[in-house]
Amino acid sequence: MSAILAAILAFLAYGIAYFTYGRFISTKVLKLNPANRTPAREYEDGQDYVPTNRFVLFGHHFASIAGLGPILGPAIAVIWGWLPAMLWAVFGSIFIGAVHDVSALGLSLRHQGRSIGDVTRDVIGPRARLLFLVIVFFILALAMGVFALTIATLFSTLRPEAAMPTFALIGIAAVLGYSVRKLRGPVVPLTIVALALMVFAIWFGVQQPDLLRGIGFQTWVFILLTYAFVASVLPVWLLLQPRDYLNSYQLYAGLALIFVGLLLLSPNFQAPAVNSDINLEGSGVAPPLFPFLFIIVACGAVSGFHSLVSSGTTVRQLSTEGHARIIGYGGMLLEGALAVLVIIACTAGFSSEAAWQAHYFSFEGARGLAPKLNAFVNGAGLFIAQVGISQAFAANLVAVVVVGFALTTLDSATRLLRYNVEEIARTVSVKSLANRYTASLIAVAAIAFFALMKFHDPQTGKEVSAGMVLWALFGTSNQILAVMGLLTVTIFLYKLGRPTIYTLVPMLFMLCVTGSALAIQLHDFWTHERYALAVVGTILAALVVWLIVEGAIAYRTYTVIKKTVLMPSGEPPLASNPK
């Protein structure tokens, strides 16, 4: 089948969904109103609450949610064939992922811009809030450990030429942020200059591929975590906003070039539509398509992490509720479009079906996360080369885009993890841990634990990286977080007498697939004596079950109230400053 036809049908579905289902969810279910005063304007402080231009904020939001998830997940999931991954990326994004994201944003708008974990206290109860915060701590630390591990592997072995342009962007972004915020410089000319410097840095990286080649894996992990700490404590306008803003242009250009190259090359899929010929020997065993397809694709269809971005940073920069649909619902659809292009690059970017089979001959056949990611880099580079750009430059451009987005997620998530630690500290009345620097250190230490985790491989007798295992656990925990977010939104809507079916059905479906996947994984962890992962997974499972019980209790309580008193209409007003 033609890969172009599949891409066009997917993008058409996204466009129709944005103008129909997205508008319905935003206006009829969430009742977002541009006339309402947003938390960004109510509590503006120049540090975290900063009303922001919608295009800059869209770039910041999209760069924060995109990361490695919609690239690495689909690059692994195509082992089951291109069709299952494609269908889930399209329909999952439209009916679950985008609804989840814009709903989390709407919920936070009605609760002073507080994080969804903090809002859980008002919607479900104080115990649920603490449970939510503890679960989020584990999930964020695990996810960012996987990201740091993968970036460090790319820099140290597979793509060292992408390291220099990636860190050059950090300096360029900081200068841009300072120039716009403090010097009041014009955004458009400064953006053009910054983008030109970015292109030069990518070209220079190709010309000097060995410049940073000698830096080892663990050193890169240390560098990445140091950067994440610094970024988490700096004002949002100095690094996160301008970095994500510039990164968004990188991705827009990359997506456009990949699509144009796809049109020019006009390839067919080299992978089967549905692949049942997977090596089932030893560590090459692929888990069953159901439920693991829905877990491994992860952010390409739905991501609980997005609720933390929407309610943790984006909501505090939203200048009007009228921008919520394009940023919340539209941002997820664009991420789904990225996942679709990744699927095509990893299935139509090979020279033959034999070449594809050689790379994906087993679940572990590509030997870890980074090589599977490299399949996308090479495939997308082949497409971009069709427009007349050298394939070496094109591949490095894709690698820089990939790593750049992984870093934006790493720094944004470390900031969110800092917020999370601060909220837990305030909940248990340990004020010393609520300090931004102390909380950031705790966040970075937790990320480091998972980034450097290893386990004993009984087949080789050696200690090996937990990369692929951690990714599967990340996918499960990430989708569990989506279940929690949809649960909180559903109870909130029920409390207000709004339709709940649009969030309840997605929540139940995700609960089914994630619960099944977690049960299978826990059995595997305990059987193969991977005790650290087994303990973390068991704790997560227990906390999630507890939280769901709390949600059921809250649902029953609201039902009793509705039967005995007349529920007030309208929206909860903005309360006192949450800071």
Whole-number pLDDT of residue 549: 87
Structure tokens at 558: 């609201």
Q: Between residues 368 and 520, which one has the greater pLDDT?
A: 520
pLDDT score at 283: 43
| Confidence bin at 363 (pLDDT 50/70/90) | low
Q: 42-79, pLDDT tens digit by residue?
A: 888 876 788 888 888 887 788 778 777 788 889 888 88
Does residue 159 carry a pLDDT above 80? no
Band the pLDDT of 27: cuts 50, 70, 90: very high
CA angle 106, 112, 113 (to 5 degrees): 60
pLDDT tens track for 474-525? 778 888 889 989 999 999 999 888 999 999 999 999 999 998 988 888 888 8
Would you place residue 577 in the very low, low, confident or very high pLDDT band (cuts 50, 70, 90)? very low
How high is the pLDDT of residue 370? 62
Q: What is the pTM of this model?
A: 0.83
Separation between Cα atoms, residue 348 and residue 270, nearest integer Å: 5
Predicted local distance difference test score (pLDDT) of residue 367:
46
The tens digit of pLDDT for each residue in 530-565 reads 777 788 788 888 888 888 888 888 888 888 777 665
pLDDT band with cut points at 50, 70 and 90 for residue 97? very high
Mean of pLDDT values over 436-452: 89
- Predicted confidence at residue 434, as pLDDT, reads 80
Q: What is the pLDDT of residue 138?
A: 82
| Share of the chain residues as helix, strand and coil, in percent rounded to the nearest 5 | 75, 0, 20
Give the CATH number of domain 3-564: 1.20.1740.10
Q: What is the mean pLDDT of residues 99-110?
A: 94
Q: Is the dihedral of CA 198, 204, 210, 214 positive or negative?
A: negative
Mean pLDDT in residue range 316-334: 93
Q: What secondary structure does DSSP assign to 105-146, as a single string?
A: HHHHHTTTT--HHHHHHHHT-HHHHHHHHHHHHHHHHHHHHH
pLDDT tens across 108-147, in order?
999 988 888 888 888 888 888 888 888 888 888 888 888 8
| Percent of the chain whose predicted confidence (pLDDT) is above 90 | 26
568 compared with 219, residue with greater pLDDT: 219
The reported pLDDT for the residue numbered 565 is 57
- Residue 467 confidence class, pLDDT cut points 50, 70, 90: low
pLDDT of 221 above 60: yes
The pLDDT of residue 469: 66
Mean pLDDT of 426-430: 82
Q: Which amino acid is at 456?
A: H
**Report for 113-127, 172-186, 196-210, 326-340: range of highest mean pLDDT:** 326-340
* Mean pLDDT confidence for 312-333: 91
Q: 252, 66 in Cβ contact below 8 A?
A: no
The confidence score (pLDDT) of residue 574 equals 44
Question: Where are the chain's structural domains?
Answer: 3-564
Q: How far is Cα 138 from Cα 449, in angstroms, rounded to an integer?
A: 11
Which range has the top average pLDDT, 11-15, 127-131, 200-204? 11-15
Within 13 Å of residue 148, how many CA atoms lie on the same side as its CB? 32
Q: Rounded CA gap, 188 and 345, in Å?
A: 32
Q: pLDDT at position 107, please?
A: 93
Region 284-301: mean pLDDT is: 80
